[in-house]
Structure 1
């Protein structure tokens, strides 16, 4: 179903026969998936396929987890190497790449993790070696993030050694961006409470600009990405003073 939504987000429409051939499944199986997605108001079915609803501008997290998974795991491993000496308190925003980072951090001891992501909190809550702090806020079903004034108020009085941030787009012109304006504001608050900020993003996010700006690239110290990122965009980021690491 994730592939179906991914195609719709890019093309706007799709045909049952085409997607069945691409997936190597029967048209009946595709129609069942379309029916289930329509019940979730994620698309509208047509006679021969489906069209994207006007609300489908951001794939829910549960359908994004399988994309670029190997790249995200390598990025997470590189993020651990970027912790540096004396890094004890770490802030994590939501997202598929930061979720991989959280899983890698779970193997460490003596860390304090502050997050506004419910799925990350659920993974880390069972780890006795990690001190976990979860913000309040209003839950977003698309990203599992807690956002808004309550989330930001939860950060008052907290000073982080490092913030590890996921984004939907990063470029010099647009800065760090995401699909949702309130989420962007909450993520910016987390960055403002950190001594240092590292962005983790697979190559598809580099050079992209989503709807809402989190902050300029001058607010971050490092981007960790993968070899698929546009070299020209990476050169622009380096010129702007951002350390770029390729995992």
Structure 2
């Protein structure tokens, strides 16, 4: 288990229990007490926990981990999904991308596709995003035009949300929206954990001629708090073979094209 995977597990345990001792955490993760002590110290330095004698208590932060800590989860699957989703994009397109680890991989795949390159100074692709990390990573690539929505940044996801992020959508058109989700099923459609993110993601979907959901199998058949769009608004789902077969069948019956990466 990598350091970031340990941190993820520790914060999930702390979210449930509100307090963890070094001994308890070491037993849960099957690692040494010295390793847990170092992890607790580093998490405290990041202001994600409050250090106590012999353990930690929950800090007053949301335990939806920032992207840099979640990136280790299902990394190989997400890269395959990203490559397959990026391959659906036509050169010269305007693509809307929301925040998340899978969509960050999609943005990287889009930016490095050889067939999307164009003459120097002329963008071969326009990316519209509310994700600060994606905009930051792509802005240095001369063949990609980056359009940021504006808004108030959420530290948990690096996404811009709120009324300041919505004004742009009445002034642009998007050829394809590639969105990451926290859950996708036929009953609730595409969902995420935060209502502010859902609002911006919904506008991305409504502005797009084609909607592509890029999500690993752990998200399929699940529901999160805030609804982005109904299943009928999704044109393509790109996922991996770990997605439940029965859920995939239901999604296909709803008219969604499913691609397994």
TM-score, L = length of structure 1: 0.89
Q: 2:12 aligns with which of 1, 9, 12?
A: 9
Paired position in structure 2 for 1:37? 43
Deviates more, 1:65-74 or 1:149-158: 149-158
Q: Given the alignment of the two structures, is residue 182 of structure 1 paired with residue 187 of structure 2, yes or no? A: no
1:91-116 CA-partner distances (Å, limit 9, x unpaired): 11010000001111112321111111
Paired position in structure 1 for 2:231? 217
Mapping for residues 45-194 of structure 1, pairs under 5 Å: 49-50=55-56, 55-83=61-89, 85=90, 88-107=93-112, 108-109=116-117, 110-194=124-208
Displacement, 1:211?
1.2
Displacement, 1:35?
2.8
Change (3 A) 1:87 1:67: same
Which runs of at least 4 in structure 1 moved beyond 6 Å after TM superposition?
Answer: 21-24
Distance 1:218 1:112 in 2: 26
SS of 2:187's equivalent? coil
CA contact (8 A) 1:87 1:161 kept: no
Change (3 A) 1:223 1:130: same
SS of 1:187's equivalent? helix
Paired position in structure 1 for 2:257? 243
Number of residues of Structure 1 aligned to a counterpart in Structure 2 = 246
1:70-111 CA-partner distances (Å, limit 9, x unpaired): 00110011012222x566111110100000011111123211
1:116-163 CA-partner distances (Å, limit 9, x unpaired): 111001110000011111111000101101111111102221001100
Distance 1:238 1:94 in 2: 25
Displacement, 1:3?
2.3
TM-score, L = length of structure 2: 0.85
The unaligned stretches of length 5 or more in structure 1 are none
CA contact (8 A) 2:7 2:39 kept: no
SS of 1:197's equivalent? strand
